Each structure stands twice: as C-alpha cells, then as structure tokens.
Amino acid sequence: MNSIDRRSALIAGLGIAGAGALAACGSGSGSGSGSGKDLLDPSGSEVTGNDKQRRSTGREHKLTLTAAPAVIDLGGGVMPRTWALDGRTPGREVRVTAGDTLVAELSNQLPDKTATSIHWHGIALRNDMDGVPPVTQTPVRAGANFTYRFIADTPGTYFLHPHIGVQLDRGLYAPLIVEDPKEPLAYDDEWVVLLDDWIDGVAGTPDEVLAELRHGMGAMDMGESAGARAGSSGMESHDMGDMGGMDMGGDSASPSGSVSPSASASPSPSASSGGMSTKFMLTGSESDLLGGDAGDVRYPHHLINGRVATAPDVYTGKPGKRVRLRIINAGADTAYRVALGEHKMTITHTDGFPVQHQEVDALLVAMGERYDVLVTLGDGVFPLVALAEGKDAGGLALVRTGSGRTPSATVRPAELDGMIMTASQLRAADDVRLRTAETDVTHRIKLTGGMAEYNWAINDVPFDMNNAGAHPIFVEEGQRVRLDFINTTEMWHPMHLHGHTYQLGTSGPRKDTTIVLPKRKVSVFFDADNPGQWMLHCHNAYHGEAGMMANLAYQA
C-alpha cells in the first residue's frame, strides 16, 4: 500500500473510530513522544483556562459550511468538477469583529470515506479548534458534522482551508476577515483578493499530482539538472553559520532593485523523461527572488477570486478613492508577485499584524502569507496581476474606475519590475513589536530533503500521521522561544506555525508564515502563550504532506 493510500485509510479509520483514536495517534497527555515528557491535551484544562483570558464581545457569529462535490465556473468556459464549500470557490467570505465567537458547523458531504476538516489559518485560537486531524481532533468523516467554536480576538486578514492530505489544492477554502473595532486606517472601500493555483478537474487531481511527485526526480534521466534541483539533506552551506540570529535572504530583493520575472520551461502536459511521465511535475522554474527553483507543479490556471485570467474578476470604484486590498495566497505550490498597473501600493499589514508603512510597486506573496495594502485609485481600467513567480504564468483581475481598454490576459505591468518588497524588508509597528526579553529556549529547525526522492522533512524526520506525538518540539508556557529555520535544501519553503505569531529577528514583522530561502537561515521569536499541540510545517501543500511538518507541543 503506498503512502497516499495508507494516509487515506488512517484518516477514514479515525473518522469512524471517533475520539478514542485521537489519543492512540499521539494527541493527548502522555502520548508516546519517546522523550519521557507528556504532551498537553488539546482540550485540557490548560487550554480551557487560557481561552477564558481572551477578550470577548459576547456576540456569536453562526454559519454552516458544507463541503461537497461541485462543478464551479472559473470563467472562460473553464468549469471543473472539484470539491468546494457551499458550491463555490472561493467560499463565501467569513467576516467577524475582534472578540466575537465564531460558531461554524462543518457539514461533510464529500464522497464516501472522504474525511475533512477546517483549519483557521493564522488565528491564535484554542487548540482543539485548530482543525488538524489527528492531532487536535478526529477527522470529520463523510456524512458527519462538526462544530468549530472559538473566540476570534485578533484583528487581521486570515483564511480557512482543510488540513488533511492535499485537500488544500482543491476548492475548499474561503477568506476570513477579523475587523478591528478601533480601526486606525482611513480608507473608503475594501477588496479581498484571493490568489490560487488551479489544477483540480482540469489536468488531474491533487492526489495524482502527489503520486507523481513522490516518484521523485531520481527516477528520471535528468542529468545535472536533477542533481542540482534535488539537493542534499546532509549538506549545509557556509551561508548558514552564526548570523546574529537573523538572515532572511533579502539580498535578492532589495527595495531599490529591479528583478525581472523568470521564465520557466513548459514541456507538453504529457512530457516524459527517462521513460517516466511528467504530466504535472514542473522543471526549469527559476526565480532570483526565491533563490532558484520556484516550484514543483505545472498549473494550467492561476486564479484571482476564483476567475481565470481570460475572464477576470472586476473591482469597480471611483478615481481618487482609497481602497484597502486584503491579499491572500491560498495556493499550494506557487508564490505570486503582485502589482496593480500604474499604481503604488502602501503595505500596512502582513499576516494580520501591522507594519511600519512602506510604499512599493510590487510584493512577493508566498503560500499562506497575507498582505494588506492601501491604493489610491487612478482614472481608467487597470490590471491587478499575480505573476506566478518563476513559472511564466499568472492571474489577472481588473480595477475599473472609468473608460479605457481592457488589458489582455497576459499583460505584465511595469510595476512588476519595480520596487519589489518581501517580508524580510518590513518592520513591525511599534505597538505589536515583541517586548524585549531573554530567550528561554532555542530550537534548531533544519529543513531537509529534496526532489530526488521527494523526501521532505524537518530535522531529517518526516512527520508520521500514524504517530503524531512522536518527535515533538517541546516548549513550556511562558517561555520566549527562538526557532532557527535552517534550510539545507535547494528549494525555498514557506514555514507556517499554527496558533501563534512570531517576529522575524528583533524588529521584523509579526508573522505566522515566512519564506526561508535555499541554503539560508531565518530566526524567529515568539512567546509561548497559547497552550496545546501546534503544527509547524512548510505551506507548500506537497512538501508538508510528504513530511516537512512537526508537532510543536507544550509540555503537560
């Protein structure tokens, strides 16, 4: 039985077995970590006690989310059969005010034996509502319902998606906006911009993509290119020495520099090498911004708000109005370079937290990252382009404030080559910067593996869903924690921590997802103030599912 089938069988079994299986898979106090320490129960008294400290408005926001097969209209005659929430992709926007209690019932109407869940990406919520089977809950089996109930007490731009297998690469996602009742920004309107790379129901399914990737490039006769792309988990470059706790790889994206979009080789959909089909695997995708290899998967479409570039979503406004764009990358394998033609953007937030304002031409948004920007609209028709970094493709939406010609689907505004910003160049706003404190514990998070065997892992240990409590990264409540992400691979990784936000270095932005470039080191700091068991993983859906994931667990 291959690893995909084993995972599906495990998840299905857990969904039928119920809560008793949760502890058996390593999600409870005393759950076989092999360290002699107990892991905190995701529903234990520590979690409940901490949750009572959250500021609450006393209001409840109730909704039902139905996950089911659907034929969706992406525009331009593209109508794939996929899985979606309430029959649409993206799902309906969920919007609450900070302090409200979100009560969301998930109804799983997916095909027989297909379990699912909802992870509330970026929200620091109570642990047993985090939506990560089998660590924090049992899977929601087909035909069953599960109600998520938690206080959303931190304003910001977030989104929701499944946390089982590679379901993220289907249509089961939606924006989640937590409004600030004391909003300090002044603007006239708001536009949520949700980016996605799309393959399901068009060229194949995400499970078929993963099956091909798992063969690895070692099975292909790719010569030197395969060796260069594969990397080695046993090597560390000289760039990864003691860097004073912070090296975020910003050299390749200087605020005053100009980086041209990288082209990618685009073999035919049924291309093969060495006798192995490469229907989905992308080769030759290169990006200076990402330190080399840009991605693994060849996507037929890149979407903005669920629309293909030939039939774009349109925002209609008035010249001179100030608009807040909430940009979310819900993609599985693609970073996007985002720009609005003939406009500057002022970055105000990343991953929900305010930063010192920075005016830019374009930004780089990795999978799982979010950015809020302000723009003052000109008069005419303008392209909002999400260039698939290193893949020579992209998504398109339009801003229409007056008369003008509609840009082509392949338009590339000059701003894409202007001042390009990454999170490493931003600084946290004064009111959210971490207080000065001594570091209590430092954990070395070595990112390992490569394309040759598709053996992505953390500290050379792939995450095991059969024993989710094995090899935890232990922290204790109240500690100031430092994580040193050390990328030993030839590929970039967007590293995401559940249930917390960390700070990049001593004054960088507060984030929950950050880019770690090849052969580089990034140090982040956070306060252990949300007890439970939390996933730490690469937000490339295929890297995470292949094993680049770990359990960051509070000691009971």
Percent of the chain with pLDDT over 70: 83
Residues 503, 509 contacting (CB under 8 angstroms): yes
Q: Which two tokens stand for residue 132?
A: 């990560």
- Reply yes or no on whether the pLDDT at 343 is more than 70: yes
Q: What is the mean pLDDT of the segment spanning 488-510?
A: 97
Strand order in the sheet with 533-538: 473-475, 549-554, 533-538, 493-497, 513-516
Q: What would you report as the CA-atom Rg of the chain, rounded to the nearest whole angstrom?
A: 22
Which of 77-83's residues contact partners 24+ apart within 8 Å by CB, and which partners?
Answer: 78/202, 78/301, 78/308, 80/198, 80/200, 80/201, 80/202, 81/201, 82/170, 82/171, 82/200, 82/201, 83/110, 83/167, 83/170, 83/171, 83/172, 83/200
Q: What is the mean pLDDT of the segment spanning 246-258?
A: 35
Q: What is the mean pLDDT of the segment spanning 493-506?
A: 97
Q: pLDDT digits over 389-403, tens only?
A: 999 899 999 999 999
Residues 327, 370 contacting (CB under 8 angstroms): yes
Q: What is the model's pLDDT at position 470?
A: 86
- Reply yes or no on whether the pLDDT at 218 is more than 80: no
- Which residue in 510, 502, 499, 503 sits closest to 534, CA to CA? 499
Q: pLDDT digits over 527-544, tens only?
A: 999 999 999 999 999 999
- Reply yes or no on whether the pLDDT at 252 is more than 90: no
pTM score, whole prediction: 0.88
- Reply yes or no on whether the pLDDT at 497 is more than 90: yes
- Reply yes or no on whether the pLDDT at 500 is more than 90: yes
- Reply yes or no on whether the pLDDT at 187 is more than 90: yes
- Reply yes or no on whether the pLDDT at 25 is more than 80: no
- Reply yes or no on whether the pLDDT at 240 is more than 80: no
- Reply yes or no on whether the pLDDT at 552 is more than 50: yes
- Reply yes or no on whether the pLDDT at 467 is more than 90: no
Q: pLDDT digits over 100-122, tens only?
A: 999 999 999 999 899 999 999 99
Bridge partner list, 323: 189, 375
Angstrom distances, CA of residue 129 to CA of 57, 117, 168: 19, 10, 18
In sequence order, what are the residues at sequence separation of 6 or more whose Cβ sits closer than 8 angstroms to the Cβ of residue 182?
Answer: none
Ranges of beta strands (E only) in 435-531 are 441-448, 457-458, 473-475, 480-487, 493-497, 502-504, 510-511, 513-516, 521-527
Angstrom distances, CA of residue 111 to CA of 12, 101, 115: 12, 30, 9
Q: Counting every residue, how long is the chain? A: 556
Residues 550, 472 contacting (CB under 8 angstroms): yes
Q: What is the model's pLDDT at position 312?
A: 98
Q: What is the model's pLDDT at position 381?
A: 98
Confidence band for 9, pLDDT divided at 50, 70 and 90: very low
Q: Which residue has the higher pLDDT, 470 or 62?
A: 62
- Reply yes or no on whether the pLDDT at 247 is more than 80: no
Q: pLDDT digits over 140-175, tens only?
A: 999 999 999 999 999 999 999 999 999 999 999 999
Confidence band for 33, pLDDT divided at 50, 70 and 90: low
Q: pLDDT digits over 411-452, tens only?
A: 999 999 999 999 999 999 999 999 999 999 999 999 999 999
Ranges of beta strands (E only) in 476-538 are 480-487, 493-497, 502-504, 510-511, 513-516, 521-527, 533-538
Confidence band for 12, pLDDT divided at 50, 70 and 90: very low
- Reply yes or no on whether the pLDDT at 257 is more than 60: no
User: How far apart (Å, rounded) are the C-alpha atoms in residues 316 and 343?
Assistant: 16
* DSSP states of 166-187: TGGGTB--EEEEEE-TT-----
Residues 116, 345 contacting (CB under 8 angstroms): no
- Reply yes or no on whether the pLDDT at 265 is more than 80: no
Q: What is the mean pLDDT of the segment spanning 192-211?
A: 97
Q: Is 529 left (phi over 0), alpha (psi -120 to 50) or beta?
A: alpha
- Which residue in 465, 419, 502, 535 sits closest to 130, CA to CA? 535
Q: pLDDT digits over 283-334, tens only?
A: 889 999 999 999 999 999 999 999 999 999 999 999 999 999 999 999 999 9
